[in-house]
Amino acid sequence: MGRHTFLSLLLALLTPGAAIPVPPAVRALNNLHLSTGFTSHPSIVMEYSIHYIQQKVDHFGFNTDKTFNQRYLIANKHWKKDGGSILFYTGNEGDIIWFCNNTGFMWDVAEELKAMLVFAEHRYYGKSLPFGSNSFKDSRHLNFLTSEQALADFAELIKYLKRTIPGAENQPVIALGGSYGGMLAAWFRMKFPHLVVGALAASAPIWQFDDIVPCGVFMEIVTTDYRKSGPNCSECIRRSWDAINRIAGNGTGLPWLSETLHLCTPLKNTQDVQSLKDWISETWINLAMVDYPYESNFLQPLPAWPIKVVCQYLKDPSVSDPQLLQNIFQALNVYYNYTGQARCLNMSETSTSSLGSLGWSYQACTEMVMPVCTNGINDMFEPHSWDLEEFSDYCFRQWGVRPRPSWITTLYGGKNISSHTNIIFSNGDLDPWSGGGVTKDITDTLVAIIIPEGAHHLDLRANNAFDPTTVLLARSMEVRYMKQWIRDFYASLRKKY
């Protein structure tokens, strides 16, 4: 989900100057009021109350004493004052209600852990806008959109909850999050270990920074997903780019492409052709992230194992260019038209403006610099190198700021994090972001859990009858670790008194 917003940036890079595509997560959000049953587990009733806490706009300076209201949700149906716990979702780049609805795991384990659930919205997203509608106006208003400020919000919120909710004070808090939210959960435990006894960081690519992992690894995993989902599937996609280029080079190529791909808006020039390829690339990437084992409606309504369905249309790379592109259309149609309601495919859907996408685009242009590149050999995409200078110039044009690509590593330690404790890093092998994740145990208490059949934080989703055994195992290990942290907390509390 949120992870898509990283991609927006990537694609904007592939076509510098292009409008930043909307993260699908945010698109889904806009339709939230139309949707029901986000979770695939109809037996969970997600009852929560909505609250606001007054937060300093700037935790790290004293010149302004401006405040804003941060939204958070509380569900305490299963919470026990005696021996209970608090599960704290460290919200990421989007509306917190959407994350709440899509993190069924927390709801599924609440009773077992006697847990209060708290979902804290990340500043500059959803309803938690430091300057209201001016929040994205310019770099001056955006200045307080950083991971550090977000962690400080979480810290203040936890202290406030412990102070004001009778029975909460002497309970262990566990941070949980997925994607960027997973990074925040891990970083929160690293920087505020006095406030959370541990963290579950699901699909958190904390090493997709600097040159910690090769920039090519992300797209290689995407490619592997397609290669393994059907014979010749990735090869068909690899060949499609040149096919598009060749057809676009013909006199009647653009109208033919527009018609064959059922585009709502016909292609008009070469720039549109680049946008087309970016849009198709984003589609393949999105599918890799949501390649879940059951019918789901995370970013789009999709069949179970959607890449397998896609690959049924992409079996023969040796067909003619027009045939290949017709097959590509069928494949795209799986993602954009599973319900059969779409009358045409809307490339511009991914470039509608929205708060969520604005926020992440800024974050990606400042702290969250996550290099991604392709070479067309180890991956199925057109080659594109990672060019920091180009990126920096783009960011300066877009936001008037320049990225600090090493800051996250300086601040959070990069690979050198072994002195921390009690963090679970879970990753799915299908998830392209697993390439920047922690996939091997670092110490006894900094542990990696791999879900071979998992896409993007499958483990955080609600239980499902079609869940593969590996994710059930992952979740049960996660619960075991969390119970251990809770036990340790109460044991040390007893020692104190």
Pick the catalytic residue from 108, 153, 225, 431. 431
Between 284 and 412, name the residue whose CB sits nearer to its own copies.
Answer: 412
456 is known as an active-site residue: yes
Is 389 a binding residue for its own copies by CB under 8 A? The answer is no
Q: Which helix (H) or strand (E) holds 200?
A: strand 198-202
Spatial separation of the C-alpha atoms in residues 157 and 96, rounded to whole Å: 15
Of all helices (H) and strands (E), which one includes residue 176?
A: strand 173-178
Q: Is 379 a catalytic residue?
A: no
By the 8 A CB rule, do 89 and 120 touch?
A: yes
Which residue among 4, 420, 456, 457 is the active-site one?
456
Active site residue 225: no
Please, what is the minimum distance in Å from the beta carbon of residue 79 to its own copies?
22
Enter the tokens of residue 411. 């601040």
- Residue 191 as a binder of its own copies (CB under 8 A): the answer is yes
414 touches its own copies (CB under 8 A): yes
Cα separation, 114 vs 166, in Å, equals 15
201 forms beta bridges with 177, 425
Of 7, 51, 54, give the one whose Cα is nearest residue 27.
7
Q: Which residue's entry shows tokens 């059949």?
A: 453
As measured in angstroms, the least distance from the Cβ of 294 to its own copies is: 39
Question: Which C-beta is closer to its own copies: that of 65 or that of 389?
Answer: 65
Strands (E), 327-439: 423-428
- Please give the C-alpha separations between residue 42 and each of 36, 56, 296, in angstroms, as whole numbers: 10, 39, 13
Q: How many CB atoms lie within 10 A of CB 154?
A: 29
Considering the rule CB under 8 A, would residue 281 count as an interface residue with its own copies?
Answer: no
Residues with Cβ within 8 Å of 416's Cβ and at least 6 positions away in sequence, in order, are none
Segment 34 to 63, residues that bind its own copies, using CB under 8 A: 56, 59-63
Q: Which two tokens stand for residue 295?
A: 């019918």
Residue placing its CB nearer to its own copies in the complex, 349 or 488 = 488
Binds its own copies by CB under 8 A, chosen from 402, 452, 476, 480: 402
- Measured from the CB of residue 373, what is the shortest distance to its own copies in angstroms? 23
Pick from 90, 103, 128, 366: which binds its own copies (CB under 8 A)?
366
d(CA 340, CA 16): 34
Residue 384's CB is within 10 A of a number of other CB atoms, namely: 18
401, two tokens:
């700021």
Question: Given the rule CB under 8 A, which of 33-41, 192-200, 204-212, 250-258 is the region that contacts its own copies?
Answer: 192-200
Nearer to its own copies, 70 or 146 (CB): 146
Toward its own copies, which CB reaches closer, 60 or 466? 60
To its own copies, the closest distance from the beta carbon of 402 in angstroms equals: 6
404 interacts with its own copies by CB under 8 A:
yes
Which of the residues are catalytic? 179, 431, 456
Residues near its own copies, by CB under 8 A = 56, 59-63, 65, 139-140, 142-144, 146, 148-149, 152, 155-156, 159, 191-195, 366, 401-402, 404, 406-407, 410-411, 413-414, 416-421, 492
